[in-house]
Amino acid sequence: MHTLDEAGLLDGFFVFLRELPILEHWQTFTIAHVYRVFLPAIYFVLLYGTRILLGIDSTNTLPALLFSNVAVMTLIGFNAYLVEHRMT
C-alpha cells in the first residue's frame, strides 16, 4: 500500500484520464434509479480508482486512510463546502 503523502502518485492517473476523454466520459455517469443524489457518480468512480491505485484494500477504511488527506481529496474534486456539509 502506498502512503497517503504520495498524492503526486495520482497526478499521472489524472493526466491520463484527461488526455484520453475518459474523465469527460466518466462525468456523464449516473446512478440508475437514484432520485436524490448528494454527489455526482464521478466522485464514486474516482474514489474507487484512487483506492485501487493507493492499494487500499477496503472501502470501509477510506475515512481513516483517504478522507483525511486534503491534497488527494482536492485532486479528486472535493472542496471545503462538500466537507463542511458532510457530503464526503
Q: Where are the domains of the chain?
A: 9-84
Which stretches of 34-69 are DSSP H helices? Answer: 41-54, 62-65
Flag whether the pTM goes above 0.85.
Answer: no
Predicted local confidence at residue 40, as pLDDT:
78
Q: What burial letters (b/e) apply to 27-59, b meaning 16+ CB within 10 Å?
A: eeeeeeeeeeeeebbbbebbbebbbeebebeee
State the first-to-last Cα distance of the chain, in angstroms, to the nearest integer. Answer: 22
Q: Kindly tell me if the per-residue pLDDT of 62 is higher than 70.
A: yes
pLDDT digits (tens, 9 = 90+) for 8-57: 777 788 888 888 888 888 888 877 776 666 777 888 888 888 888 888 88
Q: Is 78 helix (H, G, I), strand (E, B) or coil?
A: coil
Q: Kindly tell me if the per-residue pLDDT of 4 is higher than 60.
A: no
